[in-house]
Structure 1
Amino acid sequence: MRNGIVKRYFFTCVSVVLVSIVVLGAVFLGLSAQYFKDERQDQLLIIAQRAAERTSSGLTTSDGNSYLLDFDTLRQGYRLLISTQEDADLFMTDVNGAAVLCTEGTRCAHTTYRVPADVLEKSSQASVAKGYRGMGTLGEIYKRPHYIVSVPITGDDGYIIGYVFAASPADELSQFLVDVLRMFAIAAVVVLAISFAVIYYTTKRLVSPLKEMAGYAARFGQGDFSQTVPVTSDDEVGQLAMALNNMSSSLAVVEQTRRNFVANVSHELKTPMTTIGGFVDGILDGTIPPERQNHYLGLVSNEVKRLSRLVSGMLNVSKIEAGEMTLNTVPFNICEVIFTALLSFEQQIEQKSIEIEGLDVDKVMVEGDRDLVHQVIYNLVDNAVKFVNEGGVISFGFETVGGYTFTAVRNSGEGIPKEQLQQVFDRFYKTDRSRGLDKKGVGLGLYIAKTIVNRHGGDIVVSSKEGEYTEFRFSLPAAKPLRAKRAAKGEGRREGQPADALAEAEGQQAPDPGDGDRKI
């Protein structure tokens, strides 16, 4: 982790800071150079404008075609103007570019060379207010680059009679930029040092909780869910910690479920296999006499059937949990399915003198997978037959509310303790009482029934009153023709309207799945 994220993040941030400083330095130096140049030329322009004003005010006409100047007076004025600018010079040329006056005296380079014609042309086109600005050597006048500023001199008639040039060496710019660069470099070093320290500290702080989470994730992968990741913030890192804790909780539940499943399967398999092994060994070694062998072979046969039911139930559970259960939805009469299921228990019903009630209706149409719904009803009837009292009653009830048909299966008997009602749909769950009465069950029937009903978009609930009854009540979508008929009458449930609201609109009380005193 340290050699990965920390290094990459640190060097990425450092690279960004370095590039930013380089770009900022280049822009800063460029602007500084331009500012220095403009400032220098502005100063020279002011001097050249004042020199041109003095020159124009000192013009005298001799014959109408020429002007006279007092060069000594002008030279002193020029020198006074340029005295504030170190290494700068000021000179005047005629219209042809020949120097006629210079602050350096008679021995200067300005009198030897002429100003280039292109510079004169640009100077003649410039106004007195803006003047001509340039940088160069003015042909052969200067050996080094100079800042050049010129202003035209006009006579009384408005014609240009000459030019005033002010020049200053450009070497000062290099020294100025060196000084600026030195100050910028010092500031950049300080900023870089602070940035490096902050970036390194921030990176370590960001990565430290990730390393800690990696350690917790490794323990989770090994099956240790006893600890939780500390959540120290509300940012993305804190959200990741909470996600890991949620994952740990989910994995702990899954692991506990898996262990319970293995333990339950082992227990359910061990009991019949022990019984089968004991009886077979008894027959083989002669412990069981020949006249009793058929009896015990019958017991062995029952245990084998129990193992078959267990394996079949486990396969069904596996298909359900793997999402391999597909629905073949068709409208059908659920009463016919109930009658078919009851025929499978005809012998047990007669042996216990059980009375069947509530099946005097002709047709109750629902939509669903007929075979899967048959399994639901078969499991519920099987449960009712097992726990109904001798000479008791198994009754059925039907009610359609809000597009769903509710089917109730109630049996009289001792009922289920209140504290165990929420567990009857768990896999392999069997109450202590049912372990005594239900010798053949494996505790998967109600779990499978609930899963199938939920897969149809319905729900199943149980209610019981000890010493009186137990009732399972599940819902399935009503058949479409029935829903269409109810909608035509204005009785259908509107989208988003709960069953309670619909019942209230119809002026009746909504059915309560947990109301044990409701008569079917």
Structure 2
Amino acid sequence: MKLMYQQMLAFLTVTITALAIVGVLFTQFTTKMVEDNAYSQLNRFAIAVAEETMRFEESDGSFAYFETTELDTDSSLLKVQGIDFTLYGADQQAVYPHKGKVATAKITDAEWQSLKNHKIIQKRSADSDSARTLDVIKPFFDKNNKLIAVVVAREATSSVSDNLIMLRKNLLVAFLISTLAVIMLSFIFSRLIVNRLRLIQIVTRRVADGDYTARVHLKGRDEIVSLADDVNTMTLSLRSQEDEIEAQEERRKEFMANASHEMRTPLTTISGIIEGLQYDVIPDDDKQHSYDLIKTEADRLSRLVKDNLDYERLRQNKLVLKKEHFDAVSLLEGLLDQLRSKADLAGDTLKFDGYGQVMTYADRDRFIQIIFNIVNNAIQFTENGVITVDAWRETDRSVFTVADTGIGMSDDQVSKIWERYYKADESRTKRGETGLGMAIIRQLVEVHDGTIQVESTLGVGTTFTVTLPDRPQR
């Protein structure tokens, strides 16, 4: 069943059930109220009849006699309304109507006893001809608390039933009108809900077909609007992921092209030299140089393969760290000594501002790899400048900075340097570089639960800050 019809059926079921319950309760309440009003009216008629007929002595106020001459007129008027009455004296004999004129209401002995005890009796009864009536039997007493009269006022239930039947008819008409109104309103509300859901359905189908620009435009604060917002958020995320995948694919293609070129060049060189050595066409004086070239090109291939293997291990969380506590200062000093000759070729000055001991908790080899790559990168993009390495302790952590006065980077370049295969300046990138260096550095820092930050100004220089938290020895 479609959602709209389900909604309509739910609205209709709830409303009809509520109307039925209210109708039954209202009918019962109204029936009780109509009967109570009838009893109250009969009670007033009984009082009026008694007051009109009873006569008292002027001397002592005692009861004298009944005056019934005016009751014929009253009886005729009440008959029209379906009401009749009977007046009894204290001797339980009917005073009005007179015998043989109209059948009088009968009062049982038990009822007489209750009347003498000042009880007013209200009941339903039936005549010999099965005519049903509502009866009020009311006693009257003199000032000495002596029973002097009893009035029985009766009303045919047909008059009450007519009022109730009319009431039920009106209630049924109201119920039918309400049901029709509910059907119309439930159709309108269900259609509104379904139309809003249909908008979401249309957008999700477009997204499923690859259109990540689709958006659901709904206003409000209900659950459907929240669902629409979630769909829009999902679409934005998919769009962002698609852009990232496209960018990664472009960089992958670029990397594969660069890697193929870089691998082909050293392989061609190595193959040519080996062929020359094989056929002894290389002079003895040049053989050592040839061996050096083979070693250089083999190292280049090894570095290319190693960077890719390192990145994949990091990406798949397969790198195993051997963390230990060590003094980073001595390692940094040795590392800078290794790179000093390369810095001299670029006209750069390497400075180390650290002093004392900087106890660090990390994998020693990976720590050297992180700092080596950052300093090597600084040398590559700095000419005739200064590269400063610093190290110090903070609470529960070690902090290292590498600052250079090189070419710097733009904000766009800074935002991309952690991406795979990205090269900030192709013209200054050494042949054989893979573009994986900074991505590997960042992941190495993160697997140490550390952080790495970069601040750079184009044409001024760049500063990298690495923070490694302490961990207890195991």
Aligned to 1:461: 454
Letter of the 1:160 counterpart: L
Aligned to 1:310: 308
Give 2:18's match in structure 1, choosing from 20, 30, 38.
Answer: 20
Change (3 A) 1:305 1:477: closer
Letter of the 2:198 counterpart: K
Aligned to 1:485: none
Note if contact 1:411-1:470 (Cα within 8 Å) is conserved in structure 2.
yes
Stretch deviating more after TM superposition (13-22 or 408-417): 408-417
Give 2:81's match in structure 1, choosing from 69, 82, 86.
Answer: 86
Paired residue secondary structure (1:110): coil
1:61-99 deviation line (CA, Å, top 9, x unaligned) = 9xx9xx76446537437627x627622111123557x55
Aligned to 2:419: 426
Paired residue secondary structure (1:57): strand
In structure 2, C-alpha distance between the alignment counterparts of 1:328 and 1:103, rounded to whole Å: 121
Aligned to 1:517: none
In structure 2, C-alpha distance between the alignment counterparts of 1:142 and 1:59, rounded to whole Å: 42
Paired residue secondary structure (1:407): strand
Q: CA deviation at 1:168?
A: 0.8
Note if contact 1:366-1:479 (Cα within 8 Å) is conserved in structure 2.
no
- After TM superposition, the score normalised by the length of structure 2 is 0.80
- After TM superposition, the score normalised by the length of structure 1 is 0.73
In structure 1, C-alpha distance between the alignment counterparts of 2:65 and 2:38, rounded to whole Å: 29
Stretch deviating more after TM superposition (445-454 or 151-160): 445-454
Give 2:132's match in structure 1, choosing from 139, 145, 149.
Answer: 145
Aligned to 2:244: 257
Q: Alignment length, in residue pairs? A: 458
Aligned to 1:495: none
Change (3 A) 1:422 1:71: closer
Note if contact 1:415-1:470 (Cα within 8 Å) is conserved in structure 2.
yes
Give 1:135's match in structure 2, choosing from 90, 112, 124.
Answer: 124
Q: CA deviation at 1:224?
A: 1.5
Letter of the 1:474 counterpart: V
Q: CA deviation at 1:457?
A: 6.2
Alignment of 1:314-463 (within 5 A): 314-319=312-317, 333-336=327-330, 338-339=332-333, 342=336, 348=342, 355-365=349-359, 373-389=367-383, 393-398=386-391, 406-416=399-409, 420-433=413-426, 436-450=428-442, 453=445, 456=449, 458-463=451-456
1:458-507 deviation line (CA, Å, top 9, x unaligned) = 451232452x6432223455899xxxxxxxxxxxxxxxxxxxxxxxxxxx
In structure 2, C-alpha distance between the alignment counterparts of 1:169 and 1:337, rounded to whole Å: 116
Letter of the 2:377 counterpart: N
Stretch deviating more after TM superposition (339-348 or 9-18): 339-348
In structure 2, C-alpha distance between the alignment counterparts of 1:103 and 1:438, rounded to whole Å: 133
In structure 2, C-alpha distance between the alignment counterparts of 1:367 and 1:49, rounded to whole Å: 108
Note if contact 1:394-1:412 (Cα within 8 Å) is conserved in structure 2.
yes
> What fraction of aligned residue pairs are identical, expressed as a percent?
16
Q: 5+ unaligned residues in a row in structure 1: which ranges?
A: 481-520
Aligned to 2:49: 51
Q: CA deviation at 1:246?
A: 2.2
Note if contact 1:9-1:203 (Cα within 8 Å) is conserved in structure 2.
yes
Instruction: Confirm whether residue 34 of structure 1 aligns to residue 29 of structure 2.
Output: no
Change (3 A) 1:49 1:297: same
Q: CA deviation at 1:12?
A: 0.5
Letter of the 1:437 counterpart: T
Aligned to 2:297: 299
Change (3 A) 1:298 1:478: closer
Note if contact 1:58-1:70 (Cα within 8 Å) is conserved in structure 2.
no
In structure 2, C-alpha distance between the alignment counterparts of 1:328 and 1:133, rounded to whole Å: 101
